Amino acid sequence: MKVLSMLFAGFVVGYAISDIGPFDSLLSRTAQFGSSATIVNGLTVLALTAALASVVLARSSARGVLVVAIGAVLVVVFRAVGMVTGMLGDWSGAVSAGVVLGASAVLAGRDRGAQASLAVAAIGAGLLGNALDALLQADDGPVFVWDVVGAEDAVAPERAIVMVIAASGAALALFLAFRDKEVQRCETRRTLLVGLPLTFLAGVLSWIAGGHDARSVEWLCALAGMTAIALLASFVLPGRDGLVLLVLFASSVIGSVGFGAEDSLQLAVSVVSLIAGAAIGYRWPQMYVGLGGLLVLAGAALIEGYVALPTVSQFVLPFVVSYALVSVLSTAPGSLAIALPALFTMTLPVTMYAASSQIASTYDRAVGTRTTEPDHLMLSVAGLVVVSVVTVACAMLKRRPTVVNGNS
């Protein structure tokens, strides 16, 4: 029941993330500019809230954490069905999803099965949620809708139905699993010391890299800065807890938001690959095998622009990412709450060319505007270098003793 509750809770968080809209991968050849006009976007709010919630709830009773988690799940549902709209709805959706993530991480403790279930569900739903929406919308028959008033109250019926079902399952499973459990004590101060600055700086760097007038040097400096803060944060976290953050950062660099799912078959294959990788990583955890897989994927991205790779290669990505992630669990609840949003908040947006319409004196013309200067080769080389650096850092962290219970 604990594992089932984490699956439902992670799905709620991930599906909310997919609604906010994660950035495109830096190595995806079809990537499009998708960052917000402001640094404080929904993903940033969610990540900050998750870190704060994990700290605030770390010393609460299990029943208290459970009440907060279920209440946050209900808020996510209210927003999904259009009961909380406009800017208030956007903020409530991001904040409540962050609270669900932080509370779930605290309830999961250091249990590898619970942590793996939460992580895989959140990542899978976050990356494949929009594909699931598209699949549900493919039905040309009648669909269930709400009566709405005004454009701001428009509701996506497919997402609302899925969210109601998932949230109901999460609330029931969380109650049954943790009504008589005790919360494991975990670190608090370092969670805040790492989680808050990390999320804010990542947002700033993404904003700089995604600017329409960004030059190549600015974008590459943003990538170097993102790598530096990821490394620093991972070593500030106690023991080996920083491994999860580094693995997810490396995954975001090599293209983890590029999971292929254009139809029901591809969606199913992506989900099966994700689950299979997690299951094998749980049963036979080998950190260096997972990191080696990430390096191979980074190398494959390097030659992708020159050699036609088999279509099946895109489905290797979710398998390797989930295997590498689960192999480095368990970690402290606060560290898990910080690391999971990193897959989305620490991804730099990329657009090679953007077509814009410009009115001339006597005619309209389409003008190609270069918004991110590095070409595919430079991006791929940069990605391979970053993953290599992260691999070395993981090897160094692996030598540190594991911190089971800490108050730092």
Report d(CA 40, CA 14) in Å as an integer: 19
Please state the rounded mean pLDDT for residues 48-60.
90
Report d(CA 241, CA 232) in Å as an integer: 13
Report d(CA 246, CA 134) in Å as an integer: 32
**Phi, psi of 377, rounded to the nearest 5 degrees:** -65, -45
Residue ranges with strand state E in 308-353: none
Report the predicted TM-score, pTM, of the whole model to 2 decimal places: 0.86
For position 372, what pLDDT does the model report? Answer: 52
Q: Check residues 374 and 284 and name the one with the higher pLDDT.
A: 284
Contact 134, 24 (CB under 8 A): no
pLDDT at 365 > cutoff 50: no
* Nearest CA among 98, 114, 58 for reference residue 199: 98
Report d(CA 20, CA 45) in Å as an integer: 11
Going by their DSSP bridges, the two strands 354-359 and 364-369 should be labelled as: antiparallel
Q: Check residues 95 and 354 and name the one with the higher pLDDT.
A: 95
Of 82-91, 149-158, 232-241, 281-290, which range is least confident?
149-158
For position 113, what pLDDT does the model report? Answer: 94
Cβ neighbours of 332 (radius 10 Å): 32
The secondary structure of 172-203 as a DSSP string is HHHHHHHTT--PPP---HHHHHHHHHHHHHHH
* Nearest CA among 5, 1, 157 for reference residue 73: 5
Contact 99, 69 (CB under 8 A): yes
Cβ neighbours of 236 (radius 10 Å): 15
Instruction: Please report which confidence band the pLDDT of residue 373 belongs to, taking 50, 70 and 90 as the band edges.
Output: low
Report d(CA 398, CA 396) in Å as an integer: 5
Per-residue model confidence as pLDDT tens digits over 107-129: 998 899 999 999 999 999 998 88
Report d(CA 236, CA 5) in Å as an integer: 30
pLDDT at 384 > cutoff 70: yes
Of 49-58, 104-113, 355-364, which range is least confident?
355-364
| CA atoms lying within 13 Å on the CB side of residue 332 | 28
Instruction: Please report which confidence band the pLDDT of residue 181 belongs to, taking 50, 70 and 90 as the band edges.
Output: confident
Per-residue model confidence as pLDDT tens digits over 300-319: 877 776 666 666 667 788 89
SS3 367: strand
Cβ neighbours of 265 (radius 10 Å): 9
CATH 1.10.287 fits domain 2-355+370-398: no
Please state the rounded mean pLDDT for residues 274-297.
94
Report d(CA 30, CA 106) in Å as an integer: 37
Contact 127, 259 (CB under 8 A): yes
Helix or strand (DSSP H, E) at 267? helix 264-283
pLDDT at 354 > cutoff 50: no
